[in-house]
Amino acid sequence: MADNVLWLNGREMSSLGLRVAAFDGLFGSHELSYSTVTVPGRVGTAQGAPLAMSPKELVVYGTIEAASTTTMQQQTAAVEYACGMGALVEIRTMFDTSRVVYGRLAGFKFNPASRQGIQKTVRGEIRFSIPSPVSYERSPRTYIEATANNRLAIPLGRLPSAPVLRVSPVSAAVGPFTITYRHADGTVLTQMEITQNTINLVLREDYYSIDCDLHSLTLSDNGTVLDGSQYWTPGEFILLNPADGDPESGAWPTLETSAGQLLVRVRRVDPV
């Protein structure tokens, strides 16, 4: 294959000398195992609910080429290091450069291309374990509603997404506020109340941020970023779900703030 085939944590791998030849397991679902129940008086068994989902394996086949044996060894080590060495890695391929999956290195094996002469090329495979059967948009989408109490529709993928929410002043200071998540039909599903202590966002640069994925809350006050949990009335973090609307008709769930401007960043999530 040509360049621009595989990126790991944003690094295009041909820049390290890796030439990808093929993928195995790039498309397709994870494997599921099911419980079985013996039914008296019947032949065979009945299938129950799924018991477990096995991690999916993604295999990358390729070669690493270099100008010398020493350089080849250095590049092979650099490719292995770029694979994360067991840490979670963002994986992106040429088949959809706007989406990523996450996995961990499960195997790295390269051998000389031949047994004769000076070795400048090795061939082998890289195996990744993909624990979650979903893919994410690489870059989040941003939606803004500058008017308080106005419902902001949030288009989603086929699976739930945890957004990042930010409330900031527009033309007036923002005191305590509530962010409301509604079904497309208007039914209130979740509310996050930032009302525990006196909060006062004055400057346009001030904001209160809620990361519903990491479950973190921060307050930026005059350029100083602080822990924002003291202002939150503990409850549920918001999880946006396409099932809370009707994607076929374009009816999406909504968010709104009772004060200030609401900014929503969300990545669409879909099955692998």
* Collapsed DSSP state (helix, strand, coil) of residue 57: strand
Looking up tokens 């018991």, which residue turns up?
51
Of the candidates 172, 141, 171, the one whose C-alpha atom is nearest the C-alpha of residue 154 is 141
Of the candidates 18, 164, 147, the one whose C-alpha atom is nearest the C-alpha of residue 5 is 18
123 CB contacts (<8 Å, ≥6 apart)?
A: 61, 62, 63, 110, 111, 113
Per-residue pLDDT 10s for the chain (272 aa) are: 668 999 999 999 999 999 999 999 988 777 777 777 777 777 777 777 666 677 889 999 999 988 888 888 899 999 999 999 889 999 999 999 999 999 999 999 998 876 655 568 899 999 999 998 899 999 999 999 999 999 999 999 999 999 999 999 987 788 899 999 999 999 999 999 998 777 788 877 889 999 999 999 999 988 889 999 999 999 999 999 999 999 999 999 999 999 999 999 999 999 88
Of the candidates 137, 134, 135, 154, the one whose C-alpha atom is nearest the C-alpha of residue 247 is 154
Tokens of 52: 């477990």
5 CB contacts (<8 Å, ≥6 apart)?
A: 13, 14, 20, 93, 94
Give the pLDDT score at 41: 72
Contact 253, 151 (CB under 8 A): no
Give the pLDDT score at 173: 82
Taking residue 212's Cβ as centre, other Cβ atoms within 10 Å add up to 21
Please state the separation of Cα 64 from the chain's center in Å: 29
Of the candidates 233, 197, 235, 204, the one whose C-alpha atom is nearest the C-alpha of residue 220 is 204
For residues 63 and 19, give the distance between their C-alpha atoms in angstroms, rounded to a whole number.
5
Give the pLDDT score at 116: 56
Give the pLDDT score at 112: 83
Residue type, 145: E
Contact 102, 91 (CB under 8 A): yes
CA geometry: angle at 149 spanning 143 and 217, to 5°? 60
Query: Partners of 211 in the beta sheet?
Result: 164, 216
The H or E element containing residue 102 is: strand 99-112
Give the pLDDT score at 115: 64
For residues 2 and 250, give the distance between their C-alpha atoms in angstroms, rounded to a whole number.
39
Give the pLDDT score at 272: 81
- Domains of the chain, each with CATH number or no CATH: 6-133 (2.40.30.200), 140-271 (2.60.120.860)
First-to-last alpha carbon distance for the chain, in angstroms, is 23
pTM of whole model > 0.75? yes
Contact 78, 15 (CB under 8 A): no
**DSSP category for residue 242:** G
